[in-house]
Structure 1
């Protein structure tokens, strides 16, 4: 017997309509590229998106087309999100932190011929245009009262002129909910970036997934919450906040181009931000700046953290600011896969044990995701918290392929590239990246645990560990560290003694080298590829 329920497609035009119709006066605040704070609401944002959608249709855009954006966290960018997705065109959100050559590679993979840019990304766009003849139109997202620079970009036009006299009287088309919506590329830490084409269905489900109580532990209703995505919205859709905020009637605040701690604090304190999220490095910088400025960040109740496990020191700083730390894990391919919810009874454990069982892990398996761990031969391993294996994920919010692959090249389970343990209570702990695992004499050494142990030493600001060849053990760890502020030299013997309290003695790195700065990817993560290049350039013989 078939069910009797309607089969209306999950389209993101319905999301912006819902926001405009049922909480249209909820504020939408964004910093422009020129630094001006722009104030609007969801009803006016829907009108803006409809005018742009009307103009795009008039310029020949239709379902199955792809448009690119090279832009920051602005209201112009959100307007483009809902206009493009509303007419069924895919939106390829290019990362302005990448090189022109990286962007060329991505553009050729996806195939867009029109790209929207802003005042900050214009110089990069001119570099990209020189090597991407397939892009024949560049739309400059101008801001009221701000000057429009001259440009020789092919087909250069301002958004104002592109829209012309198009009205907001526009009917959203209907199409398959599995149509591509946004296209994001992975950060490419272990090779060429890969493109993920989210669908309208997956973003709708993913936004519901990110709105669940076990993701944000202090979540409240509607406009009682104010969200600020510190993650750039070209990175996994800004952790879905541009969709979860209108879905739930939250106030949304965007930081424009200004990702400085001082700029973020200004928005948090000025707009009453209650929920925000970032990688650990950004949180550390934010807390440091808040203490310098005397800000208590008192409106923030929920701090989402992902990217890597928090140190005990970072967890204590969350506590000192009265912010509930919600640890999660995901990837471009599967955002919000694990949740912050602690297991039953764990909230009554001593603080140290709570940290080890809850915060030091990457969350618990979420409802819309299935996880499994397998050995090198693909054999499933038990969820006993002891066996570690390759982490695989599947579900309606996980990517089953990459842009450019044929249907036959898709996969049933997404290989995350992480080595993990899964415990009986459903919590998951990342042990390492598969390509970063050091297999010494047939035994695994966790680079993450080595880095965490070193980073808890008073003289070390940050640590990165890579593998280097060894004539007997095949691989051994090399550690590179940056020094804490005010520390002039590393006491290596003291560091090694300290680390022995956290890891087995045979895990200790064969060599430790001090470097000036730790390389990062465009998303703020430790760049292991750059560390390997740094080691390769060294002429010294590290391992005798």
Structure 2
């Protein structure tokens, strides 16, 4: 053995930026601007938080949950919890109470750090979180006088007050858990993906590479991708590693506020789903002289494929490259990347051809293997024509779900992604369909089967089918088709009200259609491909598009 066997632990990366660039700012949006602290202050506060958590009984491997917007305190939690050997469990603030209750109890969270403005959503679970011993409330300006019915609640600043600014990070196995994120992208209960130090360390370094996101210490990041969603695509970890200036929008996620932050704080890179950038595009088109994106050079877009027209508009109008990434919660999450110029031969391409390439899911990030397989697990040619089940493997790819065996999701060391894809001769991944009938709305998954099963539980419903229908802003929205039982009354409003008892507002069907029959396959299953095709052929439009 000729090399030191230093464990790949996140504390070796997370303290680095503050050491090399202590005066660089970390900013959190407020109603009238932003509050600022330095990288060194952020690092010191993270160490204080680690001491406070340790004093509260948090040990190596314990789960500490966050229920927060993107902001400096959420960043401190990322830093503290992971580096002290505990597990940072990011709770999605958009989930329904039913899913939140299941996730918190399945993870056995011991402490939850919550933003004061979203306390009401967590209070719905009062008395239903037996493992939770303490609630730590982070209050941004305007919410300092928070109150809650939840027991054992303490203000974040009081929690860390007086704690030492140096915590001795433990030397643990690099395969120890450091992060937990649940995905509700398939049927049934949400599944937990447990990230290890080794996996996150390698992913963090890989996505900073020039041919991936091309990040450096001179960048200013506007972190729009939620920190509760798949590690915010890994950007907070990279930003702390490099010492990048960071700007976080907190709850101010409207296009006007985002555009002002890009303008006012000289943002060079940001990341978000296509609906975010479509909103910003519309804002700029309506106010061409109001915003000046003079420092912005690139946007990372993921969650769903951006249309080539959006990619071209940002380049033609602003000279901003839209970098597309593809991945899943199970892939930490970034797995492929598509840049304006990903290969030397692309230097000779015209803008339209480059935009078409950028609209593909992209090339595998170094370190990962991606293949397409037929129904008998034979590999298929990379000819841009053959399509099959997309599988992936590598050092930051999930190998099992947390306390939830799902052998049908894995094959011979590969993760089965649930996507159907082609691979072209240049190695680009092109997603063509989904092997499951999931609905992707605004970058978030909605399970059509879960909606169907819930609707079918209504006494007046004979059969229910939920399909995705294209939407210009949200990419897709759910539409429910229902066969009513004979001689009963049922209204669309009753169906929606029934769904509201289990699902979050953004998961509800946009429309309810009563039909006489639903097409079936030869094996008696609902043929959703035919349903979607019939809606399109009939010229169907969603209610907000009529």
Q: TM-score range by the shorter chain?
A: 0.7 to 0.9
> Partner residue of 1:347?
347
For residues 384-409 of structure 1, give each alpha carbon's deviation from its aligned partner in whole angstroms, at most 9, with x where no partner exists.
Answer: 11110000011011111111135989
Alignment check: 8 A CA contact 1:347 1:354 kept: no
Distance 1:40 1:471, change over 3 A: closer
> Match of 2:36, SS?
strand
**2:225 is paired with a residue of what secondary structure?**
coil
1:215-254 matched pairs, under 5 angstroms: 215-216=212-213, 219=214, 221-223=216-218, 225-254=219-248
Measure how far apart 1:130 and its partner are: 3.6
What's the counterpart of residue 378 of structure 2?
Answer: 379
Give, in whole Å, the separation in 1 of the partners of 2:253 and 2:428.
32
Q: 1:323 to 1:507 in 2, by over 3 A?
A: farther
> Are the equivalent residues in 2 in contact too, given 1:476–1:510 (CA < 8 A)?
no
Residue 542 of structure 1 is matched in structure 2 by none
Contact 1:402/1:410 (8 A) holds in 2: no
Shift of 1:19: 1.4
Q: How far does residue 253 in structure 1 lie from its aligned partner after superposition?
A: 1.0
Deviation of the 1:208 alpha carbon: 1.0
Equivalent residue, structure 1, for 2:88: 91
Pick one of 274, 280, 296 that aligns with 2:274: 280
Greater shift, 343-352 or 66-75, is seen at: 343-352
Q: Deviations along 1:276-310, whole A, 9 cap, x unmatched?
A: 11111111001112233332423210111112222
Structure 2 partner of 1:512: 539
C-alpha displacement at 1:472, in angstroms? Answer: 7.8
Contact 1:477 1:510 in 2 (8 A): no
Shift of 1:144: 7.2
Indicate which of 286, 303, 319 corresponds to 1:307.
303
Change (3 A) 1:354 1:163: closer
Corresponding residue number in structure 2 for 1:391:
390
C-alpha spacing 1:247/1:415, structure 2 compared with 1 (3 Å): same
Q: Tell me, yes or no, if the aligned pair for 1:139 and 1:157 is still in contact at 8 Å.
A: yes
Matches within 5 A, 1:85-484: 85-143=82-140, 146-188=143-185, 190-216=187-213, 219=214, 221-223=216-218, 225-293=219-287, 294-319=290-315, 320-334=317-331, 335-341=333-339, 342-356=342-356, 358-405=357-404, 411=410, 412-436=413-437, 469-470=518-519, 475=527, 477=529
- C-alpha spacing 1:191/1:430, structure 2 compared with 1 (3 Å): farther
Partner in structure 1 of residue 455 of structure 2: none
Call closer, same or farther: CA 1:221–1:70 in 2, change over 3 Å: closer
Q: Output aligned runs, 1:62-73, within 5 Å.
A: 62-73=59-70
Instruction: Summarize the Cα distance change of 1:273–1:185 in structure 2 as closer, same or farther, 3 Å threshold.
Output: same
User: Which residue is equivalent to 2:23?
Assistant: 25
Q: Which residue of 1 aligns with 2:12?
A: 14
Moved more, 100-109 or 8-17: 8-17
What is the alpha-carbon distance in structure 2 between the residues aligned to residue 418 and residue 175 of structure 1? Answer: 36
CA RMSD, aligned part only?
A: 2.9
Aligned match of 1:523: none
Secondary structure at the counterpart of residue 252 of structure 1: strand
Query: 1:31-63: CA deviations, max 9, x gaps?
Result: 25x665111121111110111111211222111
What is the number of equivalent residue pairs in this alignment?
470
CA distance in structure 2 between the aligned counterparts of 1:436 and 1:107, rounded to whole angstroms: 27
Give the CA deviation at 1:187.
3.9
SS in 1 for 2:106: helix
Partner of 2:277: helix, strand, or coil? Answer: helix
Q: Secondary structure at the match of 1:160?
A: helix
Note closer, same or farther for the CA distance 1:43–1:465 as it changes in structure 2 (3 Å cut): closer
Alpha-carbon offset, residue 507 of structure 1: 9.6
Task: Assess, with a 3 A threshold, how the Cα gap between structure 1 residues 430 and 408 changes in structure 2: closer, same or farther.
Answer: closer
Task: Give secondary structure in 1 for the equivalent of 2:117.
Answer: coil
CA distance in 1, matches of 2:418, 2:406: 21
Measure the CA separation in 1 of the matches of 2:166 and 2:112.
25
Task: State the 1:220 CA deviation.
Answer: 6.1
Give the alignment's TM-score, normalised by structure 2.
0.80
Task: Report the 3-state secondary structure (helix = DSSP H, G, I; strand = E; otherwise coil) of the residue aligned with 2:425.
Answer: coil
Per-residue CA distance 1:216-251 (angstroms, 9 max, x = gap): 3xx36422x111121111111111111111212211
SS at match of 2:116: coil
Conservation of the 8 A alpha-carbon contact between 1:181 and 1:197: yes
Aligned counterparts of 2:432 and 2:121: Cα–Cα separation in 1: 37
* Partners of 1:109 and 1:403 within 8 A in 2: no
Contact 1:370 1:393 in 2 (8 A): yes
